[in-house]
Each structure stands twice: as C-alpha cells, then as structure tokens.
Structure 1
Amino acid sequence: MDYPIRTLQQIRPLLVGFRKHAGMSLAQVAALLGVTQQSYAKIEANPAATSVERLFTILRLLGGEIVLAQNGEPGETAILDALPDRAPAGSRPVPATKSKKVSVAAPSKVLPPTKKMEPW
C-alpha cells in the first residue's frame, strides 16, 4: 500500500505502524540497527530530524521503501513565484532606503558536543 507523505509530521505514525506491523519492539529494531533503544526512540519520535540515509536504512529493515513521484509539471512561473522575496509580476521595485546601524553582540563561543554520538 502506498502512503503519500506531504508533511514531515506524517512520517512518525508510518514508522510506528511499519514497526508494529513487522511485530518488532523499539528494542528489537534498535538492536538490529546497532544503536540503543533510546537513540532509536528519538529517531522514531522525530524522524524529520534524522538523515535520509538513516531513514532509508530503517524503512528497509521494516519492509518499507521510499518512492518519489512528481505530481504534474510545474511551469517556470510556478517555480519562480514559489521562491521567497520575489515580487509579483508587473510590480515596480521599491527604492532602497538607508537604515540605521544596529550594534550586534559578538557571537558566543562554540562548545563541543557533550553527548557521545553513536556511529552508524
């Protein structure tokens, strides 16, 4: 059965459903992936934050697959209109104005990660 995904929020229930349909627990999937149960639970809770490579691996393990399909052919104007900060066709550009300088605080020091990452 195909499940078209149009928003990132639709991925989580599909992952949970695929796992349950395969009759596997979080711990079983995590063991097959070589990660902790907590790590896999985080991925399943927010799959949009994981890489496509990891998601692909998980889906293959659960008997799923990724299928991409194009719905129609967008025209050039549809693509250009979808870009941010694009003025509508036929509108006149607004002249630039001078703005006041705003002082910005220096960026804070970048700290190394505190958690040990698991290799995939």
Structure 2
Amino acid sequence: MTTSDKGGRAPGRRRTGGLSDSPLPDIDESGATDTPRVEAVISATMRRYRGVTPAALARYFEAVHQELGPLARELEREVSVLTARVRQLEEENARLRASSAGVAEPRPANGGDDASLRR
C-alpha cells in the first residue's frame, strides 16, 4: 500500500502494545511518539531507578506508577475540557449553518444560552 499499512497508519509507523482495541500511540522509526509527556515521565523514572534485578525492577515499576497516576488524571481533565469545547463549537457551527440556510436554529444540548458558547 502506498499511504498506509493495514492498520491505517502512515508507512514507517508501528502500533505499540498488544491490545488490538486499545488506542495506543504510534511510534515512528526514530522512536518519537504521540505521547511526549508520558514518555518523559517514564524516561526520567528509568534514569532514577536503574538495575535489572527483581528488586530493582519492582522499585522502578512502583515509582513509575506513582508518577504516571497524577499525569493520567491531568490528561483526563484536559480531555474532558477539550471534549466539552468541541461540543460547544459543533453546536455553534450547526447554528451558524442553520441560520445561513434560513432554518430555525437548534438549541444548545446543555440547555444554556448562546452566551455560554462565547469566550
């Protein structure tokens, strides 16, 4: 295929992990990922917790999970805020299209007034 492989990704990119239904990040041939904040936390933790013994690996895994927890919560909050903003913009777009076509304007899904959509 010329523009993508069977997974719909650009050539030279591979899917990480083993869960086929999981929205895992793509990694290109240079090692760059779509998740720079997560990768930075993991790299910094790996530098602090070196070693290959079972005890060293256990300390690393505990530390990396302690570091990733707050980041995961922060990312979830960002996704929630951005998702709400996308919905607002979609509603505003629908109203603008309806008004330009001479159709009655739909009401916002949140029941609020138009002022809630303006920033």
When normalised by structure 1's length, the TM-score is 0.29
Greater share of residues in helix: 2
Question: RCO (CA 8 Å, sep 6+): is it higher in 1 or 2?
Answer: 1
